[in-house]
Amino acid sequence: MKPVTQRSEPIFNVPPVVLATIAGLLIVHAVRTLILTDAQDEWVLLTFAFIPARYDPAADYLRALYGGFGADLWSFFTYAFLHADWLHIGLNLAWLLPFGTALARRFGAWRYTAFMLVVAAAGAFAHLITHVGAMVPMIGASAAISGAMAAALRFVFQTGGPLGLWRGEANNDAYRVPASSLAATLRDPRFLIFFGTWMGLNLLVGLGTVSIGEEGQEIAWQAHIGGFVAGLLLFNAFDPVAPQSAIESEPTA
C-alpha cells in the first residue's frame, strides 16, 4: 500500500466569501458605469459614498437631500463598495486576493465579513477626523483591504504559516498557526520592511509625488492608515485561533 500523504492547500484556492466580495465590487461598478445615467450615478455617490460634510452642522441640507440619518450610518460601510474607475477597482482586487484569502481562510466567512466592515468603518473615521467638513466623497475598498493586510501580517510570517505554501512546506493547517503578539509583530523585521514600504508608497501618493488614476483624483491615504491600524489592533478580537502567548503560558503536564 502507498502511504497516505496530506495534500497541501493551494495558496490561490480563493475562498467563496472572497469571490463573493470580488463579484459584489465588480457588479456594483459595472452597474454604475454601464447602466446608470450620470445623474443616477451622482445620486448613488451622494447617498452611499462617505462625505465628511454630512457630519458638519452647517451641511444639514446634504443630510436632508441624500439618505438622511440612515446615510450618516451606512456610508461608513457602503463607500467601500464604490470605486472611481476600473483601474481603481483592479488595484484593490490585486491586494484583496492574497490578503483577503489568507484572512478568510483563518477567520471563516462570517468573521471575515464582520472584520472587513469594522475596518472599513475605522478607515472612514480616520478620513472624517482629517477632513472635517469636506464635501468631496470618499470611495473605495482600500481602507478595508489595508485592515485585512495588517491582520494577515499577524500570522503569515509564523513558522508553518501561509508563506510556507510557496515552498511546499505548509499543510492544510497553515492558516491556523498561532499568531504572534502585537508587540512581537511590531518588532519583526519582515513586518517593519513591509510596513515601511507600504507607508512610504501611501505618503508618496498622498503627497502627489506618485500619480495613480486620473488627474485630479486624490488618494485617501489617511483612511488606509486608519484601516491598517484597526486591523492590527482588532485582530485578536476576531481571531478564532489561540494566540501564541496563550499557548506558551499554558502549564505543561
How would DSSP label each residue in 92-147?
A: HHHHHHHHHHHHHHHH-HHHHHHHHHHHHHHHHHHHHHHSTT--S-B--SHHHHHH
Per-residue CA distances from 146 to 40, 195, 210, 211, 242 (Å): 30, 11, 19, 19, 23
Per-residue CA distances from 137 to 73, 131, 154, 180 (Å): 15, 11, 32, 37
Average pLDDT over residues 127-142: 92
Average pLDDT over residues 129-151: 93
DSSP state of 168: T
Length of the chain: 253
Distance CA 195, CA 153 (A): 10
pLDDT level of residue 164 (50, 70, 90 thresholds): low
The confidence score (pLDDT) of residue 12 equals 56
More confident position, 172 or 185: 185
Average pLDDT over residues 139-159: 94
* CA 47 to chain centroid: 22
Distance CA 144, CA 118 (A): 8
pLDDT greater than 70 at residue 74: yes
Q: What is the pLDDT of residues 195-243, one digit of tens each?
A: 999 888 887 766 644 344 454 456 788 999 999 999 999 999 999 987 6
More confident position, 175 or 150: 150
The confidence score (pLDDT) of residue 213 equals 46
Distance CA 222, CA 132 (A): 13
Q: What is the pLDDT of residues 21-43, one digit of tens each?
A: 999 999 999 999 999 999 999 99
What is the CA angle 150-154-158, rounded to 5? Answer: 140
Total Cβ atoms within 10 A of residue 57: 7
Distance CA 142, CA 222 (A): 11
* CA 253 to chain centroid: 41
More confident position, 178 or 64: 178
Residue that the C-alpha cell 485630479 belongs to:
216
Distance CA 48, CA 46 (A): 6
Q: What is the mean pLDDT of the chain?
A: 84
Total Cβ atoms within 10 A of residue 51: 30
pLDDT level of residue 20 (50, 70, 90 thresholds): very high
Domain ranges of the chain: 16-242
Average pLDDT over residues 37-64: 84
CATH code reported for the domain at 16-242: 1.20.1540.10
- Report yes or no: 21 and 107 within 8 Å, Cβ to Cβ: no
pLDDT level of residue 67 (50, 70, 90 thresholds): confident
Sign of CA dihedral 244, 121, 18, 139: negative
Top-ranked range on mean pLDDT: pick from 10-19, 144-153, 217-226, 240-249: 144-153
C-alpha closest to that of 24 among 74, 73, 72, 96: 96
Total Cβ atoms within 10 A of residue 221: 22
More confident position, 64 or 11: 64
More confident position, 81 or 200: 81
Average pLDDT over residues 94-122: 96
